[in-house]
Amino acid sequence: MKHLSYFLLLLFTLSGCKSADKLYDAGNYQQVLSKLEGKAKRNNLDRRERSLLVKAANKYFDQEKRKVSASSNSDHYKDWKNAKQKLKRLQKEVDKISAYQQIRESDLDDYMLQEMVDELDNRLYNYTINQYNDKIDDYYETGDRDHAIRAYRLVNDLKDYGASYVTMDSLYEKAITLGHRVIAVEFESDIFNSWEFNNNFKREIDLRDDDFNSFMDNVSNETDYELIIAAEITRKDEDRDSGYQNFSDRVIDYYETEIDTSTNQETKTPVYKDIEARVKVVEYIWTVEGQAAYKIFDMRSNRRFDYQNYNTRVEERAVKYFYESGDKEAIPSNIELDNFEMINYNYRNLIEACFENLAEEFNDNARIKSKLE
């Protein structure tokens, strides 16, 4: 029985190796590596399998390197970026094979992948620097700060291409200096709801400084743009929708008493009656409407170049029940009756919600910074 087990194990081993040989002969080198990977990780390759894995690895890596080389010789920078990513992936595969204990350092050829990555980085670095300089030149020719902002964004890529922090900081600073804008912001307050305007609208407007934008309270000689923002409550209204609802119930009116003379036992039997009640149902709808608007003026050319307004509407509803006629006992216990139809409604919560909605609309849709680009 033991000899049979050894025979089967030998048979399976030879069968697996033969299958890997066929894959190698067919040029499927990556599949050979995948097939032998498990045994290589377990340090369990025999001499034949080890030799086959080394040959397949060298063939596969040489094949992939040739493909990447062809791509990297393109004139388009996107092809260079893709080639670099492929080289980094290929290097990881080389490192994985090299880490197998049964593989010696001399078994694998020197593919000089890092040298290829360095050469691509150099090309990408020079290309990006040229693009940066072109954008800066465009700014000097047109005065359009958009070109400086685009130059700034190009610097972010240089880190991946080996640029030093000193170089990047210098390029950032130059672009920021040329592209920086000062925006004076003026709020036109709602005089009737000034508290809610300041706390629920003005305070919620998101205008934070960044590298290219500084927001100021007043116009000065350094001001590039003036932004005027206004908001107000345009309408407060109460509406009613009324109707009537009838309720009915059967309740005990009284008890009839009967006495059994033979036992002198008393029996009480309830006598029912039908009752009805009529209730007035009033639905109250309180509505607040508001609007906001902004204008942007270019102080250099003294013209308005953007204007937009927003409208919003908020409401609150409530249903009240008022007794009209009939027997109140017919009205279900979950119906709470009110005494007065006139309600002195406080609109403050709705006004606050209206201003908050207008501020949210402004923050989501105005996109002031992108309008200035």
Strands, E, within the chain: which ranges? 181-188, 213-216, 225-260, 265-298, 303-326, 337-338
Boundary residue ending a domain (148, 179, 210):
179
CA distance 189 to 201: 10
- Domain-embedded: residue 165: yes
Q: Are residues 198 and 318 in the same domain?
A: yes
Contacts of 293 (CB under 8 A, 6+ apart): 229, 230, 231, 307, 308, 309, 310
- Domain-embedded: residue 130: no
In this prediction, residue 17 carries a pLDDT of 53
CA distance 70 to 257: 111
- Domain-embedded: residue 116: no
Going by C-alpha positions, the residue among 61, 108, 107, 58 that lies closest to residue 86 is 61
CA distance 228 to 23: 72
Q: Are residues 175 and 189 in the same domain?
A: no
Q: Are residues 161 and 17 in the same domain?
A: no
Residue type, 239: D
- Domain-embedded: residue 268: yes
Boundary residue ending a domain (163, 179, 195):
179
- What phi and psi, each to the nearest 5 degrees, are found at residue 314? -125, 150
Please say whether the beta carbons of 32 and 53 come within 8 A: yes
In this prediction, residue 2 carries a pLDDT of 45
Q: Are residues 233 and 308 in the same domain?
A: yes
Domain ranges, residue 143: 136-179
- Domain-embedded: residue 289: yes
Please say whether the beta carbons of 228 and 295 come within 8 A: yes
In this prediction, residue 86 carries a pLDDT of 92
Q: Are residues 209 and 350 in the same domain?
A: yes
Q: How does DSSP assign 108-168, residue by residue?
A: S----HHHHHHHHHHHHHHHHHHHHHHHHHHHHHH--HHHHHHHHHHHHHHGGGT--HHHH
Please say whether the beta carbons of 277 and 246 come within 8 A: yes
3-class state of residue 253 by DSSP: strand
In this prediction, residue 189 carries a pLDDT of 87
Q: Are residues 39 and 71 in the same domain?
A: yes
In this prediction, residue 12 carries a pLDDT of 45
CA distance 62 to 82: 18
Q: Are residues 308 and 323 in the same domain?
A: yes
Note the pLDDT tens digit of each residue in 2-57.
Answer: 444 444 444 444 444 558 889 999 989 999 999 998 999 999 999 999 999 999 99
Q: Are residues 292 and 269 in the same domain?
A: yes
Contacts of 145 (CB under 8 A, 6+ apart): 139, 178, 179, 180, 181, 212, 373
- Domain-embedded: residue 120: no
Boundary residue ending a domain (152, 179, 206):
179
Q: Are residues 191 and 168 in the same domain?
A: no
- Domain-embedded: residue 355: yes
Q: Are residues 144 and 276 in the same domain?
A: no
Note the pLDDT tens digit of each residue in 222-239.
Answer: 899 999 999 999 999 999
Instruction: Render the burial of 138-177: b for 16+ CB within 10 Å, e for the rest.
Output: bbeeeeebebbbbbbebbebbeebebeeeeeeebbebbbe
In this prediction, residue 18 carries a pLDDT of 59
Q: In the chain, which stretches have pLDDT less than 50?
A: 1-16
Q: Are residues 165 and 191 in the same domain?
A: no
- What phi and psi, each to the nearest 5 degrees, are found at residue 333? -70, -20
Q: Are residues 350 and 329 in the same domain?
A: yes
In this prediction, residue 7 carries a pLDDT of 43
In this prediction, residue 373 carries a pLDDT of 66
- Domain-embedded: residue 338: yes
Predicted TM-score of the model (pTM): 0.63
What is the Cα gyration radius of the chain?
Answer: 41
CA distance 28 to 173: 52
Provide the number of structural domains found in the chain: 3
